[in-house]
Amino acid sequence: MKSLLTTLKGHPTLKAETTYSILFTIGFCHLLNDMIQSVIPAMYPIFRESFGFTFAQIGLITLVFQITSSIFQPFVGLYADRHPQPYSLSLGMCLSLAGLVALSFTSAYGAILATVALIGGGSSVFHPEASRVAQLASGGRKSLAQSIFQVGGNGGAAIGPLLAALIVLPYGQHAVGWFAGAALLAAVLLLRVGNWYSLMLTGTNTPLRNRTITPCTLPRTKIRHAMWILVVMIFSKYFYTSCMTSYFTFFLIDRFGVTVQQSQLCLFAYLAAFATGTLLGGFLGDRYGRKYVILFSIFGAAPFALALPYLNLFWTITMSILVGLIIASAFSAILVYATDLMPDKVGMISGIFFGLMFGLGGIGSAFFGWLADHTSIEFIFRASSYLPLLGIIALLLPDIRPAAGPGLQSTEHTIH
């Protein structure tokens, strides 16, 4: 079977090195995608005021969106592993585009459910295949590549609510259509990514997806145990961060009496640190090993998380920045570690973990909201601060060291 080197010689535009242009493009498209997702929660006050929807009806909208944007991802990823579709990235964004345009005009409840399903479906198509592209373009620096991709999503999640507040709330439902421009831009950019991906798949007579993949040498029992540990890590991280992102502003207002604007600035400080930590985790994971980044990023955040609910305003903000900086580095390391365990199932594994990220984040937000109603905002911050302690079980993960460098050998392991 021909080597990847033969493919690269036949196509001088394809390189074994890290392809940063593709990584930054896919990361920017991730930013646009996650920014678009924020439009749906921003519409809830408008739905309630304009159409008189009950909280149960709004909850069903959230459920449909969560199902289509998270539960479908593993199935999309599994299909992509068997039948890679380079242009499905652009197609997924076109689904979101169609959903946004329809959402800006429709008023019937059933039609609104259909539009949010389209937007969620577009996200389900985008994430698994985009993760495959990120690893393919990594040149062996898989944690760094995943972090560049992930930091785009974190950026979109951070600026999305702000843009929605500036555009959707003042101008109403029709203003949702303005976000269609972002979806259209992403769809066009992803056509270029699809062209590059297609070349990588068909660079020789032997498609890259059919090439030999270096399997993980661990016994299946250890692989299963490691996967369950990673799921616990995802639970710990996203249950805690859902409390921070959803209720940190309320905590600051309730405990210190700050204004809404001041609390929003503090939340943005946390989110900015979170985005920075995501990128930092990529560098550290490739250099020192994914296991140790997972351990440090979750268990290492525990002392700061535990101290946060008991400090004055200055130190509370400082602790939140440190928590965001440390704990954010976990997801990229977790995802790449999982794909190292099952290198022939990159799409499926990416779909599972992105689905868990969205699903557990939504469940965590709802759970802590319910708990706050029955106790207090301060109580949920004290209770959630123990979650990062679960990171200690990362010590039970097998020690899978990254490849020695970003050369051709590492690249071969990323092609499926």
In a domain, 50, yes or no: yes
161 with 278, same domain? no
Number of compact structural domains in the chain: 2
Mean pLDDT is lowest, of 89-103, 200-214, 274-288, for 200-214
196 with 102, same domain? yes
Mean pLDDT is lowest, of 50-59, 167-176, 193-202, 325-334, for 50-59
* Listed residues 184, 210, 236: the one ending a domain: 210
Could you write out the three-class secondary structure of 277-340? Answer: HHHHHHHHHHHHCHHHHHHHHHHCCHHHHHHHHHCCHHHHHHHHHHHHHHHCCHHHHHHHHHHH
In a domain, 414, yes or no: no
CA distance 305 to 236: 12
In a domain, 416, yes or no: no
Predicted pLDDT at 188:
93
Burial class (CB in 10 A: 0-12, 13-18, 19+), 202: middle
Question: What letter would DSSP give residue 219?
Answer: -
Q: Which domain holds residue 386?
A: 220-399
* pLDDT higher than 50, residue 121: yes
CA distance 329 to 298: 9
* pLDDT higher than 80, residue 319: yes
Judge whether 320 and 412 are in contact, CB under 8 Å.
no
pTM for this entry: 0.68
9 versus 390: the higher-pLDDT residue is: 390
Longest dimension (CA), the chain: 67
Name which of 108, 59, 297, 94 is nearest 183 in CA terms.
94
243 versus 80: the higher-pLDDT residue is: 243
58 with 205, same domain? yes
Q: Which structure tokens are listed for 83?
A: 């039948």
In a domain, 268, yes or no: yes
89 with 237, same domain? no
- Per-residue pLDDT tens digits for 292-315: 888 888 999 999 999 999 999 999
Tell me, what amino acid is at 67?
Answer: I
In a domain, 406, yes or no: no
201 with 308, same domain? no
| Residue 125 banded pLDDT, cuts 50, 70, 90 | confident
- Per-residue pLDDT tens digits for 358-412: 778 778 877 888 888 888 889 999 999 999 999 999 899 887 654 444 433 333 3
195 with 230, same domain? no
CA distance 343 to 62: 33
Predicted pLDDT at 150:
79
Length of the chain: 416
Quickly list DSSP for 360-378.
Answer: HHHHHHHHHHHHHHHS-HH
- Torsion sign over Cα 184, 360, 241, 393: negative
In a domain, 415, yes or no: no
Q: At what angle do helices 290-299 and 220-256 cross, to 10 degrees?
A: 30
In a domain, 215, yes or no: no
In a domain, 154, yes or no: yes
250 with 184, same domain? no
Name which of 58, 127, 71 is nearest 95 in CA terms.
127
Compute the average pLDDT of residues 137-153.
79
301 with 198, same domain? no
Phi/psi for 213 (5° steps) reads -110, 135
Predicted pLDDT at 213:
52
CA distance 44 to 61: 9
227 with 172, same domain? no
pLDDT > 70: percent of the chain: 84
Judge whether 38 and 319 are in contact, CB under 8 Å.
no
Which runs of consecutive H residues, i.e. helices, occur in 137-179?
Answer: 142-171
> What CATH number does residue 46 fall under?
1.20.1250.20
Predicted pLDDT at 415:
35
143 with 266, same domain? no
249 with 369, same domain? yes
CA distance 312 to 300: 22
Judge whether 340 and 350 are in contact, CB under 8 Å.
no
Mean pLDDT is lowest, of 91-95, 235-239, 295-299, 340-344, for 340-344
Quickly list DSSP for 230-250.
Answer: HHHHHHHHHHHHHHHHHHHHH
* Listed residues 180, 210, 240: the one ending a domain: 210
* Listed residues 153, 176, 210: the one ending a domain: 210
Residue 243's CB is within 10 A of a number of other CB atoms, namely 26
Q: How far apart are the first and last CA of the chain?
A: 14
119 with 161, same domain? yes
Q: Which structure tokens are listed for 110?
A: 């059933």
